[in-house]
Amino acid sequence: MKITKRFAPIFLLCMWLGMVASCAQKAVETVEIRGVYGNPKPLWDKGYDLKELGVNAIFVHSGSINADMMKRAKSEGMKIYAEFATLNGKGYVEENPEAWAINEKGEKIEAATWFMGVCPTEPSFRKFRFDQLRDLLLEFDLDGVWMDYVHWHAQFEDPEPILPETCFCGHCLDRFSKDAKIEIPEGTTAEKAEWILEKHDKSWRDWRCKVIYDWTYEMKKIIKEVRPNALLGLYHCPWNDEEFDGARRRILGLDYELLRETIDVFSPMVYHGRMERDSDWVKENILWFSNQLDIKKGEYPKVWPIVQAHNSPGTISPEEFENVLRGGLAGSSSGVMMFTTSSVAEDEGKTTVMKKIYINLEEKSEN
């Protein structure tokens, strides 16, 4: 086709717009993270190289990381992210009762099935956790740290969640009074709790969200001091604003608008089986979350959900696993991982599904 001088600028403009559209389409299709959660040893024991499965990142509990794991994972081209059990007080509160969370009756909280929370304002516990984080970052060249158990004492992963009112210990009451500039009347702990919930419920809920935000702020500060290029991620409850009477913010203390200021990557824990949801719910949830925070692909904060492969409760079939894995890539998601590595390694069908999806995503990203 002959292009005259008169139409050449228009032709070049159209070509440029076409190239921009093509690049934009590629950006939409690009998936940064194809991850597995858990020690990669079960897959290695099966004779797999992680890269041949399309995996490019492992998320593993900080206590399971060692030099040999780091060396092998790095040799296979993996990004390595450490899960950091932030507000899990199991093993700590028993030896340090001053960090035990207190309910609205003035009583020590009981473990919520398998989770034991902790008072998030207790000074010694805060120092203990921050020192642990600093030591972890100094010892290992990590690509990021994922905060886990980041909420006031509760249990959200069950169909019928456990949602107590906490924490009304002396540390929390004093700090709330000071931060909110509210003088709490004298009385028993139960009386003080009743007065706060009746007279200053909104201030109490807002303050609790700021306490959780402060944990992410301090964690981010430490990470940037020790490993400036490392990311701060958050495993978190996937409930929307209305579920369980707004309990995500009201009880757990998770305010997305606050948290987006410090969190690099949100990882909604969309465990459909545990929560007795349909597998299609995963996609619906990630679409909702992406829209709620107005997250754009390629920008921070990012969304890398964690989906369920683990057979408890019930059995997650390979077909179901495929549906939730694809659902985790909905909306603004630019990565996905599954719980857990061993659950995939022990089921050939799930291994095949993961490889198929991850290899396909890898090829799309490279084209």
Q: pLDDT tens digit string along 10-51? A: 433 444 434 333 333 333 458 999 999 999 999 999 999 999
Report the pLDDT value the prediction gives residue 365, as an integer from 0 to 100: 77
Residue 86 lies in a domain: yes
Q: pLDDT tens digit string along 154-204? A: 999 999 999 999 999 999 999 999 999 999 999 999 999 999 999 999 999
Q: Which of 51, 320, 273 is nearest to 159 (CA)?
A: 273
Range list of H helices, 181-266: 189-199, 201-226, 243-250, 256-259
Rounded (5°) CA angle 60-63-66: 80
pLDDT tens for the chain, 367 residues long, are 444 444 444 433 444 434 333 333 333 458 999 999 999 999 999 999 999 999 999 999 999 999 999 999 999 999 999 999 999 999 999 999 999 999 999 999 999 888 999 999 999 999 999 999 999 999 999 999 999 999 999 999 999 999 999 999 999 999 999 999 999 999 999 999 999 999 999 999 999 999 999 999 999 999 999 999 999 999 999 999 999 999 999 999 999 999 999 999 999 999 999 999 999 999 999 999 999 999 998 899 999 999 999 998 899 999 999 999 999 999 999 999 999 999 999 999 999 999 999 999 998 877 6
Rounded (5°) CA angle 288-293-299: 115
DSSP 52: G
Tokens describing residue 292: 């709620």
Domain containing 210: what range? 33-366
Contact assessment for residue 243 and residue 278, using Cβ atoms and an 8 Å cutoff: no
Residue 27 lies in a domain: no
Q: Which of 194, 171, 202 is nearest to 185 (CA)?
A: 194
Half-sphere exposure of 310 (CA within 13 A, CB side): 20
List the CATH number of the domain containing 118. Answer: 3.20.20.80
Residue 277 lies in a domain: yes
Report the pLDDT value the prediction gives residue 333, as an integer from 0 to 100: 97
What's the total number of domains in the chain?
A: 1
Q: Which of 351, 336, 334 is nearest to 52 (CA)?
A: 351
Residue 98 lies in a domain: yes
Report the C-alpha gap between 216 and 126 in whole angstroms: 12
